[in-house]
């Protein structure tokens, strides 16, 4: 009876509380209203001047190309939250994405974007081309890779390996896309080890033709961008066998499709299929079955074959000859490295803008929720990455200038720096995009918000045009060679920035103060100290293995852990030097003051590398002081966060809805529209 009474009372109370009179008394908290960060965040410096410093060149050309993209429906403009955004439709099928990539290229071709890219000469032409690639990559990775294969790899091979008759025949037709080129180097069985590729080319002196063959399944050309659908011609890398002697890897031009898109006789092409990203690029596989090409199609700036079948080359050393055939990859690496920096700019611009408007939790009852970027932990996640982007931008500008001013004497430096920066920038891009994805919470999962999808699209950068781990090993081997050469010839280090090796070893104070930690000379000394320590250790480890009778290659393999740390130390020091040089161009003022804080944040972030503790370059106490100073610098950079991302030069249309009014972008009215 008591139980029945209790249940009746609960039900009665429930009905009374649900009555209209009672409901009217309920009140709700105020709804969140979006407030643009520009209303509360102040600019302490001229963002246009900072942008010029960051982009480094061709700002007007970049803006012109941004405008061409935004104004065309081909680039899929969509209105979200009252703003227009351009973004590929990744819901399209693989075939549709490929066709849209090609239509966009045709649109740009009709508007003269590619004019002079193959037929023009001079540093200005090359720098303008880099700028255009950076802009196009901000819209879609597929279009930049498609164009990169055509211009940098196919076109670059003809420029570097070919001679005048190749240039006259192919370059203009490449520039206007009468010829659509691809680059057949990698195979199913060989990627990084280009020297081991299995495709074979022989010479028939009776007909004056080369004969290309795929002798086994592992020799099929694999991951060839453009081969599956659009390419009409390709550069074929193969083992050149003349009179029974293998002369090593050489490059020839072969036609794979006719003008109507039909695959040529004795050639088989298959699609590589759907990928985790880059589905706007038609990667394909190619088999050659006794494919005959004219003798003139051998790209012969390095080596030639006479009409009667004699092998001719002014470079007698096979190693040097092989190195010459890899030169087009340098341009590709430069382009990939720079592209990675700009993708990171997009991710951080979105994540930081979102963190300047998104709130979570109140510190006290009845107080407003706190902006994400006002939490020290959120600052620690994003602001050191922003400092890294600034450093990488200056490094990218240096790398481009190093490349366009190349000479035969600078080729080694270009190879080492481009390998180092390509690995560092692309690895950093993955780290930055992942952190930005997490910092955006669930919104980071939406494709339209870009950050998560950018990570999938650019994952490939870590392995194509040189696996990053192998590139870093090459960097360490080059540093080893410089060290040994300097010791043998009793000469000073000259080149690759190793001049610091002959100076007195830097001494780190036993107690690091804030003033010391922010001193650019201390920062450079600390970075040089790590590189010096690791290079000495690497040489000692390799020498010890050699003394035990190991081969040089095995000695390098056994010392791979120190080699990896050395490659990173070289890269960090080289990038930091470009930051110092960029900062030195500025007159005293607020822009230089803010940039100095960003530089210190980058340098101290480098000093948190575990190698400093592992090899005794920093004491535990000093490592703790570095960490404490980073937190302090983050709080000082925080007021400039909006100005710093606004200086990255990314138009609003290339960001995403959560970077702006994400409330309106997700409102019910937007669903109905």
pLDDT tens digit sequence for 457-473: 999 999 988 899 999 99
Element (H, E) at 98: helix 94-110
Q: What is the pLDDT of residue 34?
A: 86
Distance of alpha carbon 359 from alpha carbon 175, whole angstroms: 50
* Phi and psi at residue 305, to the nearest 5°: -125, 125
Element (H, E) at 70: helix 59-70
CB burial of residue 486 (10 Å; 0-12, 13-18, 19+)? middle
Least confident of 24-38, 320-334, 515-529: 24-38
Q: What is the pLDDT of residue 32?
A: 76
Q: What is the pLDDT of residue 15?
A: 46
Which residues are known to be catalytic? 465
Asked whether residue 447 is marked as a ligand-binding residue, the answer is no
| pLDDT for 33 beyond 90 | no
Segments in 405-519 forming alpha helices (H): 411-439, 451-458, 468-488, 514-517
| pLDDT for 334 beyond 80 | yes
Within the chain, how many helices (H) and strands (E) appear? 25, 15
Q: What is the pLDDT of residue 330?
A: 87
Q: What is the pLDDT of residue 331?
A: 87
Joined together, the tokens standing for residue 460 give 């490939």
Grade residue 24 by pLDDT with cuts at 50, 70 and 90.
Answer: very low
Grade residue 23 by pLDDT with cuts at 50, 70 and 90.
Answer: very low
Residue whose pair of structure tokens reads 């901000």 in the numeric block: 138
Strand residues in 21-174 grouped as ranges (E): 77-80, 83-86
| pLDDT for 93 beyond 70 | yes
Query: In 3D, which of 31, 32, 41 has the Cα closest to residue 356?
Result: 41
Query: In 3D, which of 151, 194, 181, 184 has the Cα closest to residue 323?
Result: 194
| pLDDT for 516 beyond 80 | yes
Q: What is the mean pLDDT of residues 216-239?
A: 97
Convert the pLDDT of each residue in 37-90 to its tens digit. Answer: 998 899 999 999 999 999 999 999 999 999 999 999 999 999 999 999 999 999
Distance of alpha carbon 403 from alpha carbon 407, whole angstroms: 9
Percent of the chain's residues with pLDDT above 90: 85
Segments in 241-326 forming alpha helices (H): 318-325
Query: In 3D, which of 141, 172, 133 has the Cα closest to residue 334?
Result: 133
Distance of alpha carbon 550 from alpha carbon 131, whole angstroms: 47
DSSP three-state, residue 648? coil
Q: What is the mean pLDDT of residues 165-172?
A: 97
Q: Do residues 243 and 261 lie in contact, with contact meaning Cβ atoms separated by under 8 Å? A: no
**Domains detected in the chain:** 180-316 (2.40.110.10), 325-484+506-654 (1.20.140.10)
* Size (the chain), residues: 673
Grade residue 25 by pLDDT with cuts at 50, 70 and 90.
Answer: very low
Taking all residues of the chain, what is their mean pLDDT, rounded to a whole number?
92
| pLDDT for 20 beyond 50 | no
| pLDDT for 3 beyond 60 | no
Q: Which residue has the higher pLDDT, 192 or 343?
A: 343
| pLDDT for 439 beyond 80 | yes
Joined together, the tokens standing for residue 351 give 């994540």
Convert the pLDDT of each residue in 270-288 to its tens digit. Answer: 999 999 999 999 999 999 9
Q: What is the mean pLDDT of residues 116-125?
A: 94
Least confident of 81-85, 224-228, 406-410: 406-410
Name the region of 422 (left: φ>0; alpha: ψ -120 to 50; beta: rest).
alpha
Grade residue 22 by pLDDT with cuts at 50, 70 and 90.
Answer: very low
Asked whether residue 56 is marked as a ligand-binding residue, the answer is no
Convert the pLDDT of each residue in 358-375 to its tens digit. Answer: 999 999 888 899 999 999
Grade residue 502 by pLDDT with cuts at 50, 70 and 90.
Answer: confident
Q: What is the mean pLDDT of residues 405-423?
A: 92
Predicted TM-score of the model (pTM): 0.91
Distance of alpha carbon 581 from alpha carbon 583, whole angstroms: 5
| pLDDT for 13 beyond 90 | no
Least confident of 10-14, 242-246, 399-403: 10-14
How many CB atoms are located within 10 Å of the residue 59 CB? 15
């Amino acid at each position: 009876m008591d139980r029945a009474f209790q249940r009746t009372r609960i039900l009665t109370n429930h009905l009374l509380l649900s009555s209209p009179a009672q409901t009217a008394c309920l009140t709700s908290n105020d709804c969140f209203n979006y407030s643009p960060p520009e209303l509360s965040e102040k600019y302490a410096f001229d963002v246009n001047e900072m942008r010029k410093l960051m982009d480094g060149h061709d700002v007007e050309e970049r803006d012109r190309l941004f405008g061409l993209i935004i104004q065309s429906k081909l680039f899929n403009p969509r209105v979200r939250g009252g703003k227009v955004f351009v973004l590929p439709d990744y819901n399209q099928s693989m075939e549709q994405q490929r066709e849209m990539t090609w239509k966009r290229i045709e649109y740009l071709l009709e508007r003269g974007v590619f004019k002079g890219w193959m037929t023009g000469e001079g540093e200005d032409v090359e720098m303008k081309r880099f700028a255009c690639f950076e802009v196009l990559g901000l819209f879609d990775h597929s279009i930049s890779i498609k164009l990169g294969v055509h211009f940098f790899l196919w076109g670059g091979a003809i420029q570097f390996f070919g001679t005048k008759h190749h240039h006259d025949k192919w370059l203009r037709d490449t520039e206007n896309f009468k010829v659509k080129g691809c680059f057949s180097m990698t195979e199913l069985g060989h990627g990084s080890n280009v020297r081991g590729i299995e495709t074979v080319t022989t010479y028939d002196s009776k007909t004056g033709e080369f004969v290309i063959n795929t002798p086994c399944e592992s020799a099929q050309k694999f991951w060839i961008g453009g081969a599956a659908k659009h390419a009409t011609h390709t550069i074929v890398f193969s083992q050149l066998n003349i009179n029974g002697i293998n002369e090593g890897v050489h490059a020839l031009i072969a036609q794979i499709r006719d003008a109507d898109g039909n695959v040529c006789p004795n050639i088989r092409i298959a699609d590589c299929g759907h990928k985790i990203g880059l589905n706007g690029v038609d990667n394909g596989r190619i088999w050659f079955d006794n494919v005959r090409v004219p003798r003139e199609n051998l790209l012969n700036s390095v080596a030639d074959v006479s009409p009667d079948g004699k092998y001719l080359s002014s470079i007698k050393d096979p190693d040097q000859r092989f190195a010459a055939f890899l030169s087009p990859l340098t341009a590709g690496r430069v382009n990939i490295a720079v592209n990675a920096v700009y993708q990171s700019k997009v991710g951080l611009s979105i994540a930081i803008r979102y963190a300047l408007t998104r709130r979570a939790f109140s510190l006290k009852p009845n107080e407003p929720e706190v902006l994400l970027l006002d939490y020290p932990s959120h600052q620690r996640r994003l602001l050191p990455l922003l400092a890294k982007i600034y450093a990488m931008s200056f490094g990218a500008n240096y790398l481009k200038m190093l490349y366009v001013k190349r000479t035969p004497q600078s080729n080694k430096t270009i190879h080492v720096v481009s390998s180092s920066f390509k690995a560092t920038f692309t690895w950093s891009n993955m780290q930055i995009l992942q952190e930005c994805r997490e910092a955006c919470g669930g919104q980071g999962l939406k494709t339209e918000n870009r950050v998560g999808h950018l990570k999938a699209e650019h994952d490939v950068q870590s392995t194509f045009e040189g696996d990053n781990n192998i590139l870093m090993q090459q960097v360490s081997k080059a540093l080893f060679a410089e060290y040994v050469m300097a010791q043998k010839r009793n000469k000073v280090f000259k080149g690759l920035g190793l001049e610091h090796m002959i100076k007195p070893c830097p001494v780190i104070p036993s107690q690091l103060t804030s003033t010391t930690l922010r001193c650019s000379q201390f920062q450079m000394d600390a970075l040089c100290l790590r590189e010096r320590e690791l290079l000495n250790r690497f040489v000692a480890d390799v020498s010890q293995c050699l003394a035990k009778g190991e081969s040089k290659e095995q000695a390098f393999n056994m010392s791979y852990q120190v080699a990896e740390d050395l490659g990173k130390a070289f890269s960090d020091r080289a990038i930091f030097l470009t930051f110092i040089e960029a900062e030195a161009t500025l007159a005293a003022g607020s822009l230089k003051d803010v940039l100095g804080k960003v530089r210190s944040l980058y340098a101290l972030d480098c000093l948190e590398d575990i190698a400093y503790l592992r090899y005794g370059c920093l004491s535990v106490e000093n490592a703790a002081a570095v960490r404490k100073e980073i937190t302090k610098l983050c709080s000082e950079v925080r007021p400039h966060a909006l100005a710093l991302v606004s200086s990255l030069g990314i138009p609003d249309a290339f960001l995403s809805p959560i970077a702006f009014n994400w409330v309106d972008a997700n409102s019910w009215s937007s669903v109905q529209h």
